[in-house]
Chains A and B, each alone.
Chain A
Amino acid sequence: MYQFLYNLIGNELIAGLLVAVVPLTIILVFALFGIWLERKVSAHMQDRLGPMRTGWHGWLQTVADLMKMLQKEDIVATGADKTLYNIAPILVFTGSFAAYAVIPFSSKLLGSEVEIGLFYVLAISSLVVAGILMAGWSANNKYSLLGAMRAAAQIISYEIPTALIVLSMVMLTGTLSLDKISQMQTSSFWNWNIFGGAIFGLSKFLLIPFMFVGAMIIFISTLAEVNRVPFDIPEAESELVAGYFTEYCGMKWGMFMLAEYGNMFAVSAIVSILFFGGYQSPIGYLGNSIGAQWLVPFEQGFWFIAKGLTLVFVQMWLRWTLPRLRVDQLMTVCWKYLIPYAFINLIIIGIISIL
């Protein structure tokens, strides 16, 4: 994509910028679609209809909300620290968007081919924590501060099981680049990492149960990292009004929402790259069989979005299935169950991979 645009335009900066605009568009469209989907999924699970008035089955509802949000008066409370208050949404959105730089949407559409992709994702997503703490601290509000402290404690705690599972995947694949991990799982779903990766023999079958455990752990801990139910105590609407963004309104609040939906898709994408083959098709490509090579990247994009959306749907599904965890249960799940399991999983995967 970058090379193609560079040959077309001849300017590096403009080509890089155009490559960066594509994931931004995807996030914006996904947020519009995701919020509508969330409302519809919630409604149908509770035997309601959800938004029905704006457009066919209310598909324009989020656009209408966006219009409303843009026209809202911007209120900064008198006691708030204005500088930090305004920087916080920028940091949160930047942290969630910058992770898309290394996520391959298809074999041709990739922002940056750095060798340390996974490492970079783990590092840059910490910006979100800084932004959340800033938002909570500067708002001069008790709910915000409590929500921010809870969010920070939760996100940093659940980063450890995530990092351990990522580490075990790095041991198995021997690379940190998300693009290379996707390329390894080619040609059929039997080569996906959840089925032991593209290797043959006994070790593949030995790996399968541990891969399932790993996929479960990373799904649970990424769910907690994006503050989704059942791990939503930072923004528990029945005790803290909205958590760390209680005081925000209008488009600044919208940026937190956008970052949240961006994060939801980003973690789903990373789980699908690590375990479910990323952009690889489970059944082979139509473009290869009819001899149209240009079709393959589009098919890969389709499979990537489909896998991401499936995981996002599971996240929404869980929201209406499980009750919220208490704060001590949250820490118990992380430190006493997920981390020891992830740890043992890591050692066993290491032993199997040197057999």
Chain B
Amino acid sequence: MLTEFGKILIFIMLAIVFVVAVFIISKFLSPNRPTREKYLTYECGENPQGSPWVKFNIRFYVVALIFLIFDVEIILLFPWALTYKEYGVYGFLVGLIFLLVLGLGVVYEWRKGDLEWARPYPKPPQLDEILKPKS
């Protein structure tokens, strides 16, 4: 007997077979006349400069990390969302405490400045400001 997940597997296999079949058909129909210029990496018509693996902003990493934490917590809430009505107010309060902790996490990240994309430069205290006599 084909289970429901077996049907999903058929969908996935069909997608893969479809894409590969289209590639093969395209391979038969298309010409193949390579030249050196054709196989250069595209950089607006100029010769490519330097390594393509450029440095990118560390913010991407922070965003991925925050996402990971939140997504795991939201996924944990799904079983609760399905059944909390059976336990009435008590069931809801249990989930609510978890949700509030999650909310505190957002507030913490926000306060810490991790949600800002362009973080303002930290201002180190200047020597003359420290030495200045308080008026």
- Indicate, yes or no, whether A interacts with B: yes
CB B39 to nearest CB in A, in angstroms, measures 5
**Given A16-B6, A74-B26, A157-B67, are A328 and B60 also a contact pair (CB < 8 Å)?**
no
Q: Is B53 interfacial (CB-CB < 8 Å)?
A: yes
Stretch at the interface among A17-25, A42-50, A287-295: A17-25
Which chain A residues in 56-87 approach chain B with CB under 8 Å? 69-80, 86
A286→B37 CA distance, assembly (Å): 62
Q: How many CB-defined contacts (below 8 Å) exist between A and B? A: 207
Interface residues on chain A, number (Cβ under 8 Å): 84
B117 near A331: Cβ-Cβ < 8 Å: yes
B20 near A90: Cβ-Cβ < 8 Å: yes
A241 near B42: Cβ-Cβ < 8 Å: yes
Chain A residues with Cβ below 8 Å from B38 are: 73, 75
Chain A 87-112: CB-based contact to B (< 8 A → 1; otherwise 0): 00110011001101110000000011
CB B119 to nearest CB in A, in angstroms, measures 10
Which chain A residues in 142-162 approach chain B with CB under 8 Å? 142-146, 149, 152-153, 156-157, 159-160
What are 14 inter-chain pairs, A to B, with CB distance below 8 A? A17-B14, A19-B7, A70-B30, A77-B40, A143-B43, A152-B64, A153-B64, A160-B70, A163-B75, A167-B74, A328-B117, A328-B118, A335-B109, A350-B84
- Add 8 more A-B contacts to A70-B29, A153-B64 (CB < 8 A): A72-B26, A78-B39, A79-B41, A97-B12, A146-B54, A160-B74, A176-B78, A347-B99
Tell me the A residues contacting B by CB distance below 8 Å. 2, 12-13, 16-17, 19-21, 23-24, 69-80, 86, 89-90, 93-94, 97-98, 100-102, 111-114, 119-120, 139-146, 149, 152-153, 156-157, 159-160, 163-164, 167, 170-171, 174-176, 241, 246-247, 250-252, 254-255, 327-328, 331-332, 335-336, 339-340, 343, 346-347, 350-351, 353-354
